[in-house]
Amino acid sequence: MIICPLCKTQNSNTLFHKSENREYYHCHNCDLVFVPKKFFISKEDEKKKYDFHQNSLENIGYVKFLNRLLMPLQRHLKLEAKGLDFGSGPGPTLCTIMRNNGYHMDIYDYFYAPNNEVFQKKYDFITSTEVIEHLHYPLDELKRLWDCLLPEGILGLMTAFRVEDFETWYYKRDLTHICFYSYDTFVWIAKYFNAKLIVPQDGVVLLKKTPSQE
């Protein structure tokens, strides 16, 4: 039985595509396209791929890429707001940029900074760039992050929105990418959390807690 890793439905998933020696299924409930667990690569192979990432302050292209999220996010933040970068990677560039701009930052990464104490804290904002497409259980992780946000806190996400020409899409060829989101998927996520959805541009999502939420 194929279960959607995001909305957990069992009876609304159909085969979407086959390539790269794996299958992709489409959930008609939340519009997620996902790879079943039997095609996941090992944690060891996954980390080897991340070890090659060249994401540093010296990489001007990468800093420009991060600014697609950071610039619209900062319009909603007060100076010295407290933030968490979830999935910071081997070089916590986003954290460094935000600290340089006057924000207080913590980091978490499953492989490089596995500090579970951060999940006992509350934050004004949480960022997660190019992470959610890797998550085996995205709803569980999103819930954990959502619970760490203060009232009116913001969860800022970056991931490539799924394209119509999925067959030739470069993004799906990365075997660490197992979940592929559309705008409609984020509409579902926002409704699930009763969040305000802000999409500044393609692939950039802000989910804001409403004042009544804790």
What angle separates helix 138-147 from helix 183-193, to the nearest 10 degrees? 50
Question: What rounded mean pLDDT belongs to the chain?
Answer: 94
Question: CA–CA separation, 73 vs 205, rounded Å?
Answer: 9
pLDDT band at 185 (very low <50, low <70, confident <90, very high): very high
Question: CA–CA separation, 149 vs 207, rounded Å?
Answer: 11
Tell me the β-bridge partners of 157.
Answer: 128, 205
| Residue 56: per-residue pLDDT | 67
Mean pLDDT throughout 156-182? 97
Q: Between the CA of residue 206 and those of 137, 139, 199, what are the distances in Å? A: 20, 16, 6
What angle separates helix 60-74 from helix 93-100, to the nearest 10 degrees? 50
Structure tokens at 24: 């992709």
Q: Which helix (H) or strand (E) holds 200?
A: strand 196-201
| Residue 213: per-residue pLDDT | 53
Residue spans of the domains in the chain: they are 13-208
Count of all residues that appear for the chain in the document? 214
* % pLDDT > 70, the chain: 96
181, 133 contact by CB (below 8 A):
yes
By C-alpha distance, which of 118, 203, 107 is closest to 158? 203
- CATH of the domain spanning 13-208, picked from 3.10.450.750, 3.40.50.620, 3.40.50.460, 3.40.50.150: 3.40.50.150
- In 69-195, beta strands by DSSP E: 82-86, 104-108, 123-129, 149-158, 179-180
In angstroms and rounded to an integer, the radius of gyration of the C-alpha atoms of the chain is 17
Question: CA–CA separation, 37 vs 188, rounded Å?
Answer: 22
pLDDT digits (tens, 9 = 90+) for 41-93: 999 999 988 887 666 676 788 889 999 999 999 999 998 999 999 999 888 89
